[in-house]
Amino acid sequence: WPYCRKRCSYCNFNKYVVPAVDEAAVRACLVREAQTLLRLSRVRSITSVFFGGGTPSLASPGTIAAVLEAVAGAAHLPADAEVTLEVNPSSASTPRLAGFRAAGVNRLSIGVQSLDDAELRLLGREHTAAEAREAVEAARRLFPGRTSIDLLFGLPGQSRSAWARGLEAALGLCDDHVSLYQLTLERGTVLAAQVQGGSLPTPAQDLLADMYHTACDALVAAGFRHYEVSNFARKGALSTHNLSYWRAEQYIGVGPGAHGRFVPWGEGSCSREARVQTLEPDAWMREVQSRGHGTRRRVVLSPLEQLEEVLALGLRTDEGITQERWGRFSPQLSLEAVFGVPGEAQELQQQGWLVLDGSGLRCSREGLALLDSLLPALLCQLQR
């Protein structure tokens, strides 16, 4: 769902602020594209559905229900499949959330970002801290144990103590899943321009690292498992959908700018493809109406490209890359054959950042925080 009511100052996602949305037309196209791509994939069963955006909580529950009906009509959608909706606090009234639950949603991901009004204004959010609290409390009543919140840290000018206060407030409010993101100053955004122009300070790298470690320690102390670089869950409330990305499973992207990774058996292919749907909503709708889907770009992934994705995504999780999963993509070349020989991986193991054993390849707790700087060396070793 690519539409938003306003553009946040830090966001460079594929989103559109328009005077009016023809929801019936968008709904029909989402339904048709889902049906087409599921038919092409010949997938028999779905494990999860994730409505992202944009702001999908601006869609009506009827649109969400129609897409889920289309999915269930084209493949088996088990009653216990995870169905997540991203929610903005400004479109999260109790009746609205109840409508989404009746439509088939069973998990919410709420874009809280901050519980400080000054920080929310800096980020260009359209909700207040009080509205965020109300939204999370309403969500937890309707989706107990199935409500996730997003938090941002590393804002320009944010102090260590302000972050600690925000974290404490979030821990008092959250349910059993928290996603924690370091603010990235993306080119072309208002916030990046303000920092570049000198009207806002650039956050110091050591402060960012300190904020991250402080948050990790606080969440783990509160009973959360740090199961992925940016994600924390307790009581087993891991995101099934996101785990499927990190475990390099197949997924189908539906809607403007959506990404997918699947084998289009229905076209006679037996190779995994990377697919990207047309970005601009009106152009995407025209394509869906004329040929059933709006796939703008499709690339057959080579065996090496697939292994690069398995490595880069799998190492984001605390379980890492299991022997079984690596073997599925690389039956001829084991993890030991690639990373158990003298080279970069052994050096990283000796430094205590990487572990290779009978279970597979994974980062240590210290290594997980440095993953972006470890990956280039590991990718070089894999390519060789």
Asked whether residue 16 is domain-assigned, the answer is no
The whole-angstrom separation of Cα 153 and Cα 119 is 10
326 shares its domain with 231: no
For the chain, which ranges sit under pLDDT 50? none
Asked whether residue 3 is domain-assigned, the answer is no
Asked whether residue 131 is domain-assigned, the answer is yes
Q: Helix, strand or coil for residue 367?
A: helix
Can you give the residue range of the structural domain that contains 295? 249-300
| pLDDT tens track for 34-49 | 999 999 999 999 999 9
Asked whether residue 10 is domain-assigned, the answer is no
101 shares its domain with 44: yes
- Note the pLDDT of residue 43: 96
- Note the pLDDT of residue 9: 87
204 shares its domain with 319: no
- Note the pLDDT of residue 12: 85
Asked whether residue 86 is domain-assigned, the answer is yes
What's the CATH code of the domain at 132?
3.30.750.200
208 shares its domain with 172: yes
Q: CA 17 → CA 2, 53, 74, 89, distances in Å?
A: 9, 12, 32, 17
Contact between residue 87 and residue 135 where contact means Cβ atoms under 8 Å apart: yes
206 shares its domain with 312: no
- Note the pLDDT of residue 77: 98
- Note the pLDDT of residue 110: 98
116 shares its domain with 189: yes
Spatial strand order of the sheet with 273-277 comes to: 259-262, 273-277, 295-300
The whole-angstrom separation of Cα 208 and Cα 219 is 17
The pTM score is 0.95
Size of the chain, expressed as the number of residues it contains:
384
